[in-house]
């Protein structure tokens, strides 16, 4: 598994300022609907339901929201870079500016966990995060996310 198989180039967005987690999830829902044909409202509801179990802000300015979606056939992702970091109730209490969301089939098991582990490892790479934070072009962000992590894939 590698990020190029999960993340469509059309599923990347750079946003100036985000006002709330709810608004962020709505934007992720719009991306998922546009790039993968998912239900925008269903995606937002699934993200909010998962977040109610515990925050998905993993620290160092990174959030990995994820949800299981009925009718989805494979794991897919969406990436957002926030120009102004926002509070996300992260484990280290630091604001978040890099968000990589994963959407998995409702019945997926191992694939969902492998994808989450892959994205987590990728986003823990400080060099990758520095490059992501230094770029605004979605095509460049996609290239950064997909260029090296396949070697480290689960």
Q: For residue 97, with 0-12 CB atoms within 10 Å meaning exposed, 13-18 middle and 19 or more buried, which class applies?
A: buried
Which pairing describes strands 62-63 and 96-105: parallel, antiparallel, or unpaired? parallel
For the beta carbon of residue 106, count every other beta carbon within 10 angstroms: 12
Q: H-helix or E-strand containing 7?
A: strand 7-17
Active site annotation includes 66? yes
d(CA 31, CA 78): 7
Query: What separation in angstroms does the CA of 12 have from each of 1, 9, 48?
Result: 19, 6, 20
Q: Which one is catalytic: 60, 66, 112, 142?
A: 66
Q: Which residues are catalytic?
A: 66
């Amino acid at each position: 598994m590698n990020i190029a198989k999960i993340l469509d180039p059309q599923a990347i967005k750079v946003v100036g300022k985000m006002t709330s987690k709810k608004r962020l999830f709505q934007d992720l829902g719009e991306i998922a609907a546009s790039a993968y044909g998912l239900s925008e409202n269903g995606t937002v509801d699934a993200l909010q339901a998962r977040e109610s179990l515990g925050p998905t802000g993993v620290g160092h300015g990174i959030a990995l929201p994820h949800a299981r979606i009925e009718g989805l056939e494979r794991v897919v992702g969406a990436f957002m870079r926030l120009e102004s970091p926002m509070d996300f109730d992260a484990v280290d209490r630091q604001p978040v500016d890099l968000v990589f969301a994963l959407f998995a089939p409702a019945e997926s098991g191992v694939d969902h966990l492998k994808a989450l582990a892959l994205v987590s490892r990728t986003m823990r790479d400080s060099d990758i995060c520095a490059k992501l934070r230094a770029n605004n072009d979605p095509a460049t962000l996609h290239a950064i996310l997909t260029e090296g992590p396949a070697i480290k894939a689960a």
